[in-house]
Amino acid sequence: MRLTFLGTGTSFGVPVVGCSCAVCRSTDPRDKRTRVGAVVEVGHTRLLLDTPPELRLQLIATGINDVDAVLFTHDHADHTHGLDDIRAISVRREGAMPIYGPAETLAALRTKFPYIFDDAIRPMPGTYKPEGTTTALEPGVTVRIGDAEVTPIEVPHGRWRVFGYRIGPLAYVTDAKTIPDAAFALMQGVEVLVINALFRTPHPTHLSLGEAVAAARRVGARQTWLTHLTHDNLHADLVAELPPDIQPAFDGLVVEC
């Protein structure tokens, strides 16, 4: 299994528009963070986790030309507003792109992007549109998508629920405020954990750095990668501060699971 981080930044991205802090001015490429997304490859199946606004650029940067399905975590702009970029992939497919996620997220996507899901909306001759079909998932209920077995992991994100995903030895959890016991149970035995870590101080909808580290220790994965990072910390400073088994991810990082 291979995990590729497309983006690892918060909803503002890094650098932040109008900011001149040390991180936003950093020349370290690991401090340039686009919005959160990832690709997981299992056997011959390639799964896209979320469609960030920079999706086209992220796929080009990582050399990923095709995916077999999209898994959405939740309906927030930094995780969904690159959905139109699947057009370049769906036009080369036989049939629409399979799209999975929480029922309310899929309903919101059908409202915001009706042309993607409504077969009655056809492109003019000589033009193309992205095409997708939706399947709602349930927490804790495993589904097979190609070569991958995928189990949704429900976590709270303020007033919203988010689906993390257990895919074999990998658990991918972003935008969580806390990790409920049921979620910890679904992550038992994973070798690689991806988890969000926003600020050093508490936040109403996200895990802080300290909370993420504590959650990682409870999961006990061989490797933990922090994502959804802000411009509060230089990447190099986090690398030096954190233990070797818990480290900050960066855009373009590839992890073999």
Contact 151, 165 (CB under 8 A): yes
- pLDDT, mean of residues 59-86: 97
* pLDDT of 105 higher than 80: yes
Per-residue pLDDT tens over the stretch 234-244: 999 999 999 99
Cα dihedral 80, 84, 85, 86, rounded to 10, equals: 90
Query: In whole angstroms, what is the distance from residue 71 CA to residue 140 CA?
Result: 15
Query: In whole angstroms, what is the distance from residue 89 CA to residue 91 CA?
Result: 6
Per-residue pLDDT tens over the stretch 8-54: 999 999 999 999 999 999 999 999 999 999 999 999 999 999 999 99
Q: The whole model's pTM is what?
A: 0.96
Report the candidate in 170, 193, 102 with the shortest Cα–Cα distance to residue 139.
102
Check the CA dihedral 22-32-30-238 and report its sign. positive
Q: Residue 108 — pLDDT band, cuts 50, 70, 90?
A: very high
* pLDDT of 203 higher than 80: yes
Query: In whole angstroms, what is the distance from residue 38 CA to residue 7 CA?
Result: 7
Q: What is the pLDDT of residue 223?
A: 98
Report the candidate in 152, 155, 159 with the shortest Cα–Cα distance to residue 178.
155
Q: What is the pLDDT of residue 162?
A: 98
* pLDDT of 90 higher than 80: yes
For the chain, the first-to-last Cα distance in angstroms comes to: 5
* pLDDT of 210 higher than 80: yes
Per-residue pLDDT tens over the stretch 117-156: 988 888 888 777 899 999 999 999 999 999 999 999 999 9
Per-residue pLDDT tens over the stretch 139-150: 999 999 999 999
Task: Report the CATH number that the domain containing residue 8 is assigned in CATH.
Answer: 3.60.15.10
Average pLDDT, the chain: 96
Q: What is the pLDDT of residue 149?
A: 98
Q: What is the DSSP string of the chain?
A: -EEEEEE-B-TT-BSPTT--STTTT---GGG-B-B-EEEEEETTEEEEE---TTHHHHHHHHT----SEEE-----HHHHTTGGGGHHHHTTSSSPEEEEE-HHHHHHHHHH-HHHH-TT--PPTT-----EEEEE--TT--EEETTEEEEEEEEEETTEEEEEEEETTEEEE-S-S---HHHHHHTTT-SEEEEE---SS--SSS--HHHHHHHHHHHT-SEEEEESB-TTS-HHHHHHHS-TTEEE--TT-EEE-
Q: Are strands 223-227 and 246-248 parallel, antiparallel or unpaired?
A: parallel
Domain count for the chain, please give it.
1
Distance of CA 53 to the CA centre of its chain: 12
- The parent domain of residue 109 ranges over 2-256
% of residues, the chain, pLDDT over 90: 90
